[in-house]
Every structure is written in structure tokens, then in C-alpha cells.
Chains A and B, each alone.
Chain A
Amino acid sequence: MSKMKKTYGDADDNYTRSLKIKSWVLFGWCIILTIVCLLPIYILIINATRSHNEIISMHGFGELFVPSSHLSENIKNLSTKTSEDFSILIGYKNSLIITGCSTILTVFFSAMTAYGIRVYDFKIKDAAYTAILLVMMVPVQVTSAGFVKFMINLHLTNSFIPLIIPAVAAPSVVFFMVSYLKSSFSNSIVEAARIDGCSEFRTFIQIALPLMKPAIGVQSIFAFIASWNNFYTPNMILIDPNKGGTTNLRTLPMMLGILQSSQKTADYGMIYTCIALGIIPVIIAYICLSKFIIAGVALGGVKE
């Protein structure tokens, strides 16, 4: 009896021991991947603290990881350096205007469309929903040639309108909100509001929107990130971003492109600082909101 117990105990120990070893090996592998994920960002931050001369005289391996003391100098250079094409503050301002407006439009109108589809019964309801699902897949590059020509015909290039207004129609956000309403919104609330004499729009704004807060929160994070990171559309719509020299319409990613390709600003310390200033707010926001972001991504993978 005792022998048997011993054998079983050993087997159990072996079993858990091998699992433990496997867990720790995998843990090591994850640590390596984490380092790979963070290394470029770490080097970026370190290089942002160096001056141009320090960067071009780097040689040894160890130097890659030791910070220097020129960060404030780089930031000062960057903020005082304003040319016709490049100014980081204007880049921030333009990006914020476009991103802010389009996020609000995306979230509000998607909620409205989803509410319309979910709550009301009308003839083309199913057809409309299917149409929204179908257009989710069309890549933006496919429509861009016609889009640009059309905007040129309307004289809307070099303005923010074609960058902001299209945000009203965001099929994937509508899709997400419809599924959210399906799972956690009951039509009897709407009926109760009607009996109390609430108008339809007031019902939507004062009752439905607050109830949709979780979905709106997640989707506004995603809409904000997507718009903030967008390089393609502004780059193609803002054909003459200086508008003949009067203003500068470039967004932050476009400023980075300018900094990269212009010969005059070949100050590497400044380039790194500029990239860092573009990236770090996003990273901080991400770390604060990571719980919601990851939950939102995971929802995308759940089969409807």
C-alpha cells in the first residue's frame, strides 16, 4: 500500500515538475519576446537624450543603453525649429483637431445608426445591415484614386473636411455597436420612455447613449488611435499642405516624414526626440487604458 502511494506520488511529482520546467522555459521565451518588443522603443528614448554629435560617434555595444543629458536641449531645438514645412506644435494641433472631431463623429453617428437598426422595424432594415457588413471589407486603397479625383473636382483637397466628415460612416464601429445593443439593450426601455411621452431623439440621447457607454468608450479609444496614426489619407488629400505658403496643414505623422526626408534637418538627436514626442503620449495613454483596449481587441475575435 505504502509502495503504491509512493509510486503514484512520484508520478505526480514528475508530472508537475515537467510542467513547471515547461512553464519556466516558456516564461523565458516570453521575456525574450518582451525584450524584442521593447528594445527599439528603449533605444529610441535613449537616443532622444543624445546630441547629434554623440549619436554619430557611437561605436560600442554598451553605449546603446546608457542615456545622456541632451534631452531638454533637443526639445528646445525642436520647438524653436519652425520652418515653412516643419513645426511640431502645428503638427500636434492639426492632428488633434482632425482626430478629435473624427472620433466624436464616428462614435456618435455609429451609435445612432446602430440604434436605428436595432430598435426600429422598417422595410430595408436587414438590407441596410447586410450592406454595412459587406462594405466593412473594402480596403481604403481601392477607393482612393476616385476619392482624390472627386475631391479635386470639388476643390476640397488641402482642407480638413475630407479627413473629418467621412468618419461619420464607420461600418466596423456600427457592427460592434449593433452586437452590443443586441446583447445588452432591451426594447422595453424604449417603450417605457414612449409611454412617458419622451420623443424618439430624446430617448436616444438621454437613455440609449448613457446605456451604451461601455461600447462607446472602447470604440472611441480605437477610433482615436486609428485616426491619430493615419498617415495615408492626410498624405493623399493634403496635396499642397502649405496652401501656397499661408498655413501648414500637415499632421504629426506627415511632419515625421518631412523630418526624415529633408536634408536640412539632419540632426539625429532631434529626429529621435521628435519620434519620441509622437510616440510617448500614445504609449502612456495605452498603458492607462490597456485593460479596455485588450478587452476590445479580444471582442473582435469572438465569433458572432
Chain B
Amino acid sequence: MASSAQSRIKSISYAKYGYIFILPFFIVYCFFQLWPLIYTFILAFKGNQSAGDSWVGFQNFNDLLFSHPYNKSDLLSSNAETKAAAKALMAIDVQHQNFVRCLKNTIVLWFGNFIPQIALSLSLAVWFTDSKLKIPGTGFFKVIMYMPNIITAASIAVLFLQLCADTNYSAATILGRSLGLLKDGEFFNMTKNVPDVVWPPRIIVMFIQTWMWFGNTMIMLMSGIMGINPSLFEAANIDGASSGQVFVKITIPLLSPILVYTVVTSMIGGLQMFDMPYLFTTSKEGQRINNIETIAVYIYDKFHSGAIEPSYGYSGAASVVLFIITAVLGAIIFRFNRDEDEARKKKQRKELIKQQKQKNKQFGGLSI
């Protein structure tokens, strides 16, 4: 029997406090994140530079996503109209090529850092959590391997720019020379800003990304592996399974939700890769190294006005493309992380209700 005070307390509605508590979050969220997001979508359908206020429909998407072939000979045509038309087409085609190049760079850089990263961190996570192996100093290794992740990315970019500079006295050149990879007067060209040096700058960015993130991924995977019921590993050991078999048949399948989560969050992170390519490509001449410019740098350059007027239209359109890619990736996580048991129970419950209804019908609507 509840006392009268208790029942009075139960009868008072505290719902309004719930709204008050979550209100600041949602006000700030709508003002600083939701509206900018919607505004970006609006900007994607508006013009660029001086035409920033007029609506252009899907023009920006058309410009960025599809190529605009033109006759090179028209550029030299004596007919002023043909020449102007060809010039305009060329300007748009340059936009398209830049966008596609940045998208390609982003994907290449992501694969190049993710594959070594997941290989390293998965193997380390398995070894560190293996109860049979006794690797000394696991805690120490974890601390050290996570450390690059907390250091300011901008500092790391500047640091590696110095360490890998194409000079006689940079650390990378000295190391390369003493390992016999370089002759006197040769460089790795890792910070070189010319179109035909494709891989060295990419490799150094991939290396830095792997270096920064493998510790983080390793700790996440380790906590995932430790969440697996240890009796499964014991049973496998008693049955004489090799460590390879345990890995393929137990660890991977049971780890798959976290693996998918890791892959997708790393993909979303990879799409946002900014600091490293930006600082690597902000050279003294203010020119971007074409082969490591990512989509985030592209978006930034389009809306960040330097000397020229900003092109919010292209920037918005590229953001929308990025958003769609992210949304698809997010949907994948959601699909995999859905609680299977919960879903099954829900289904069963529904079925039971259905059966009950049918039974009731059989007995002429009488409930028994």
C-alpha cells in the first residue's frame, strides 16, 4: 500500500523537466548544426561566385559529376561565339576533373591507410588477448601504440613535412642514404608538388594515417575480442584447434559487428581526411599537390575565399555527395549492429498475437 505522499509524487508529471533538460542541446544543435546542414543543401542548388543568389537547379551536380566534352580546336576558332562556348565548357570540365580527382585521391588514400592499419591492429589485438601467449609488457605497448593518436594532427603534418623534406639534411633523406635506398643528391620526393610524382606523397600520407590510427583500432578490437565468451576459446583449445582455425572460425565471426563498425567509422573518418593533405599541400606557392588533395580539402577550398570569390554552389554540391556516401555507410552499420535477438523476439511476439487473433476467429470471436 503506497503512502499518500508517494502516490501524490507519482501523480505529479515531471515531463516538463525532461523537455527543459534536453532543450539547450537541441537549440544549439538546430542553430549550429542542423540549419547549416540544410543550408548547405540549399547552397548546392544555387549559383557560384557572383551568381551566388540565383537558383540553378541541378546544374552544380551536373557540372561536378559528368564530363563536358568539348572540341579543343574550337578554342582557337575565329568565330567568337564558338570560342566562348568551348571556353565555358572547358571551365566546367576542369571542375569535373578536379572533383573526380579528389574523390579518387580520397579513396586511394583511404585504402592505402586502412589495409595496413586493420592488418596490424587485428593481428596485435588477437595476440594481446590470446590467453596462451604471454607477451610481456602488453600494457606498455598499448599505451605507446595509442600515443600518436592524441597528438595534434597539424603538428604531425608539420613535423613529417620537416622530417621528409627533399633536402640533403632531412631525417628521411639521411635514413634513406644510410640504408642504401638513396644515392647522394637523390630524394624521396615525398613533399614534391608536381603532377608526375604520384606515389611518394601519397605513401607518406598513408603512413602517417596508419601510424596515427592503428593503436586506436587495436584497442577497439581488443575490447571486442574480450567481449567474446572465453569458454568458446577454451572449448576450441580442448578440441585441438590451431590458432589459425580459432581466428577464422571463432574470432572473426563473433567480432564481425565490431569489425563492420570499425571499417565504416574509419571510412567516414577517411572521407573527412583534412589536416594532413591540407597542410601537406599548402606549399609556399599556395598550390595543391594534385595527388593527395582530398574531397574535404576540395570542399574547403571552394568555400574558403582567398583572393577569388567563394564557390558555395560547388562546395555545397560536393558536400551533398559526401553526405549521401556517409548516409549509405551509416545505414550499413545500423543494419549490422541491429540486435538480432531483439528483432527475432519482436517477430515472435507479433506472430503470437496473430495466432491468437486467428484462434479467436475460429471460435466465432469468443475469447477463451
Contact = CB atoms under 8 A, between A and B. Distances in A.
Nearest to A128: B22
Contacts of B315: 145
Given A139-B323, A142-B322, A301-B261, 16 more contacts: A19-B134, A61-B175, A113-B21, A116-B18, A116-B22, A117-B21, A141-B300, A144-B303, A144-B319, A146-B41, A146-B319, A147-B32, A232-B275, A272-B162, A294-B146, A303-B261
B277 to A, nearest CB: 12
Given A113-B25, A229-B154, A144 B300 contact: yes
Given A229-B153, A278-B152, A147 B305 contact: no
B171 A137 contact: no
Contacts of A147: 32-33, 36, 39-40
A232 B276 CA distance: 11
B28 interface: yes
A102 to B, nearest CB: 12
Contacts of A171: 29
Contacts of B316: 145-146
7 A-B pairs with the lowest CB-CB distances in the bound complex, closest first: A116-B21, A120-B18, A146-B39, A301-B220, A146-B40, A253-B154, A298-B223
Interface stretch (A3-11, A30-38, A75-83, A211-219): A30-38
Nearest to B333: A137
Interface string A126-154: 00100010110111111111111110000
Contacts of A138: 33, 37, 323, 326
B175 to A, nearest CB: 7
A145 B43 contact: yes
B268 A256 contact: no
Contact of A116 (B17, B153, B156): B17
Nearest to B19: A122
Interface in A52-79: 55-61, 63-64
A146 B38 contact: yes
B42 interface: yes
Given A113-B21, A148-B303, A279 B174 contact: no
Nearest to A63: B174
Nearest to A111: B21
Contact of A303 (B227, B274, B279): B227
A26 B132 CA distance: 13
Contacts, number: 321
A286 B327 CA distance: 34
Contact of B33 (A64, A143, A232): A143
Contacts of A88: none
B151 to A, nearest CB: 5
Contact of B32 (A132, A137, A165, A259): A165
A144 B323 CA distance: 12
Contacts of A38: 144
A245 interface: no
Contact of A145 (B15, B34, B40, B227): B40
A166 B160 CA distance: 31
A109 interface: yes
Contacts of B344: none
Interface in B126-161: 127, 132-137, 141-148, 150-156, 158-161
A183 interface: no
26 contacts: A26-B133, A37-B148, A61-B178, A64-B174, A122-B19, A123-B15, A138-B37, A138-B326, A141-B272, A141-B296, A144-B299, A145-B319, A146-B36, A149-B303, A149-B312, A165-B28, A166-B32, A168-B28, A169-B29, A169-B32, A174-B25, A195-B9, A253-B152, A261-B283, A275-B158, A279-B155
Contact of B161 (A143, A166, A253, A260): A260
A278 B24 contact: no
Contact of B162 (A162, A268, A282): A268
A300 B216 CA distance: 10
A112 B330 contact: no
Contacts of A169: 25-26, 28-29, 32-33
A61 B174 contact: yes
A248 to B, nearest CB: 17
A273 to B, nearest CB: 12
B33 A302 contact: no
Given A139-B326, A303-B227, A200 B154 contact: no
